[in-house]
Structure 1
Amino acid sequence: MLVQQSSSLKEEIIRLKKEKDVVILAHNYQIPDVQDIADFTGDSLGLSRQAAKVPQKTILFCGVHFMAETAAIISPEKRVLIPDLEAGCSLSDSITIDELRNWKKQHPNAITVGYVNTTAEIKSELDYCCTSANAVNVVKAIPADKEILFLPDMFLGSYVAKVTGRKNMFIWAGECHVHAGIKPEDITEKLNSLKDAEFVIHPECSCTTPMMYDAAAGSFDGNKVSILSTEGMLNHVHNSKAKNFVVATETGILYKMKQQNPDKNFIPASEKAECQYMKMITLEKVYDALIQEKNQVIVPKEIADKARTAIERMLAIS
């Protein structure tokens, strides 16, 4: 019965989005049902850039709040809706605007680099945005004698500092509760049970730092290790000749991996790596947002214009 309800609701959502001329975007961590009704799935910045290209003037963003804000910043002439306004982000919440301004005062000549997983208000105070895929390139583009304030993710920041060899980089002590919960022992256990498995890891994971040198050397107890963004993971596992993969990121990405590679085996590094904020988005909430055209995400123009500058500087590098 539930399957039938889900199927009919999906059909109704697909009919409504065409009728109302709405494009639906879904992050890779969304539940399978929501990914199924999306026009595009991907990472947060990739989806926002896609939204700017499509002809539809209304975007329904199935993701967390900062992602919908980013879409509104990149497409100021479009209306951005979100199925649940309460879908937040522990990483985004780990730094406030007052904390950032005080930090900048302590380092008046520093260049501020912030992960795209931040609020619009935080982005408006940045010199550069970055993603997990291009953070290394953004930092490399900044003159070596310039101090860098990197926020808010300490694991991504530690990874970037090690890869670039940067000594004058200060890192905010924020974390994503999901990625921080994936421990080295989780991975060791999985890799030991799958001797021929490749290991793909998101740089936000707490296990990144202790495994950095092993990963750089190209092995981890004989297993191939790749530190990649979510989109990088999807591309890598598709192109790899390996059949078994241990995946260290939010478990929602496994659905798309299995869809695109039915002949391969994907094991989560931790079955507990689920973001409760991402999972707040349901088919029922998508339907309600479409029917009522509610939960619009609006970024004030002054904040959006400043934030857009930080994003554009990043895009010019990467």
Structure 2
Amino acid sequence: MLAPALERTILQQKINSLKKEKNAVILAHYYQEPAIQEVADFIGDSLELSKKAAESTADIIVFAGVHFMAETAKILNPSKKVILPDMQAGCSLAESCPPEAFKKLKAQYPDHVVVTYINCSAEIKAMSDLVCTSSNAEKIINSIPAEKQIIFAPDKNLGKYLIQKTGRQMLLWDGSCIVHEAFSLDKLLQLFREHPKARIIAHPESEPQVLKVANYIGSTSGMLDHVKNSDHNIFIVATEAGILHQMQKEVPWKTLIPAPAKEDNTCACSECAFMKLNTLQKLYTCLEKEAPEISFSEGIMEQALVPIQRMLQLS
């Protein structure tokens, strides 16, 4: 029986060989396990990976992330094969906004501009005027004429943050991410008392009470850049714990502490169970078999492409 580290290395070598053989590219989100990040061609947040997907010249795009991300890659690359290591890798936020229910809400406010966070299904994007990510959401909202009213979906926490930042009143869909709502404010404050020199950084999907105590609020890539460029050396990080791998590689001399979750768990932090469904073995198998593959109707794809292209142009 091989040692786990050796087994991982051999599997990574096989994946790298298959990539060359099949002209494939691996896009991985920061929240993926370290072993997957190590074989990825590009690591990023939703906006960065959307741009890489749009620019790709590969025949096959392997998306090591969750379902809505792979869907976005397919929308941007309709002629390419887009595969996902585990088709069950969904998203609690995307699932909080069922297309039929959202269609009814939209019908009640026909004059509103519909802005949807990228963490939603292709069907929701197809009903949108604009798509945004946490990196560019403020810019997207500010691009809408002041006289226009806005529906923002599906993340209510990001929506509340944007209302505060832009001063625009928006009709918010009542959705949220279970990972970013899992942080315990009491435990976070206790942790800060133990590390009084630490700066608290948080993703805007977090609940308002967490954002209120944060020293910096930003997207996943924004948090990474902030830690790299800051003069501070200790950070409490309130987002999915997978970011800590890449962050620590960038600043090995700094102390990074995951913000504590409400529930006790193995890492005492907040992890996305959906993201962690993807494993190195599943990544190898999906590349070898070129499955499971992302597919949906051309009509949905064409409609969903319009607001995504508008976002990329504005970004």
Give TM class, smaller chain.
over 0.9
State the alpha-carbon separation in 2 of the partners of residues 210 and 90 from structure 1.
21
Shift of 1:92: 0.3
- Does structure 2 conserve the Cα–Cα contact (< 8 Å) formed by 1:45 and 1:67? no
- Does structure 1 conserve the Cα–Cα contact (< 8 Å) formed by 2:202 and 2:210? no
After TM superposition, list the pairs within 5 Å mapping 1:129-140 onto structure 2: 129-140=131-142
Shift of 1:190: 1.9
**Secondary structure in 1 aligned to 2:236?**
strand
**Secondary structure in 1 aligned to 2:63?**
strand
Shift of 1:189: 1.7
Match of 1:309 among 303, 306, 309: 306
Equivalence for 1:237: 227
Equivalence for 1:86: 88
Equivalence for 1:188: 189
After TM superposition, list the pairs within 5 Å mapping 1:39-58 onto structure 2: 39-58=41-60
State the alpha-carbon separation in 2 of the partners of residues 133 and 184 from structure 1.
24
CA displacement, residues 200-239 of structure 1 (integer Å, 9 cap, x when unaligned): 1000011xx2355x5xxxxx5xxx7110000101111111
State the alpha-carbon separation in 1 of the partners of residues 246 and 76 from structure 2.
26
State the alpha-carbon separation in 2 of the partners of residues 287 and 265 from structure 1.
33
TM-score by length of 1: 0.93
Q: Is residue 2:140 matched to residue 1:119?
A: no
- Aligned-pair identity (%): 43
Unaligned runs of 5+ in 2: 261-267
State the alpha-carbon separation in 1 of the partners of residues 153 and 86 from structure 2.
26
Structure 1 runs of 4+ aligned residues shifted over 4 Å read none
Equivalence for 2:174: 173
**Secondary structure in 2 aligned to 1:149?**
strand
Q: Is residue 2:270 matched to residue 1:273?
A: yes
- Does structure 2 conserve the Cα–Cα contact (< 8 Å) formed by 1:23 and 1:39? yes
Equivalence for 2:264: none
1:312 alignment partner AA = Q
State the alpha-carbon separation in 2 of the partners of residues 151 and 251 from structure 1.
25
CA displacement, residues 108-131 of structure 1 (integer Å, 9 cap, x when unaligned): 111111000001111000011011
2:72 alignment partner AA = T
Equivalence for 2:243: 253
Moved more, 174-183 or 51-60: 51-60
Moved more, 187-196 or 252-261: 187-196
Q: Is residue 2:266 matched to residue 1:264?
A: no
Unaligned runs of 5+ in 1: 215-219
Shift of 1:262: 0.6
**Secondary structure in 2 aligned to 1:177?**
coil
2:114 alignment partner AA = T
CA displacement, residues 83-112 of structure 1 (integer Å, 9 cap, x when unaligned): 111111000000111111100111111111
- Does structure 2 conserve the Cα–Cα contact (< 8 Å) formed by 1:72 and 1:299? no
Moved more, 109-118 or 3-12: 3-12
- Does structure 2 conserve the Cα–Cα contact (< 8 Å) formed by 1:123 and 1:307? yes
2:294 alignment partner AA = V
Equivalence for 2:265: none
Shift of 1:55: 2.2
**Secondary structure in 2 aligned to 1:132?**
coil
Q: How many residues align?
A: 306
State the alpha-carbon separation in 2 of the partners of residues 73 and 47 from structure 1.
13
State the alpha-carbon separation in 2 of the partners of residues 107 and 304 from structure 1.
24
Shift of 1:162: 1.1
1:293 alignment partner AA = E
2:274 alignment partner AA = Y
Shift of 1:48: 2.5
- Does structure 2 conserve the Cα–Cα contact (< 8 Å) formed by 1:45 and 1:70? no
Shift of 1:143: 1.8
- Does structure 1 conserve the Cα–Cα contact (< 8 Å) formed by 2:74 and 2:80? yes
After TM superposition, list the pairs within 5 Å mapping 1:188-207 onto structure 2: 188-206=189-207
1:180 alignment partner AA = E
- Does structure 2 conserve the Cα–Cα contact (< 8 Å) formed by 1:32 and 1:255? yes
- Does structure 1 conserve the Cα–Cα contact (< 8 Å) formed by 2:66 and 2:91? yes
Equivalence for 1:288: 285
State the alpha-carbon separation in 1 of the partners of residues 77 and 229 from structure 2.
32
Shift of 1:186: 2.9
State the alpha-carbon separation in 1 of the partners of residues 193 and 37 from structure 2.
32
Equivalence for 1:217: none
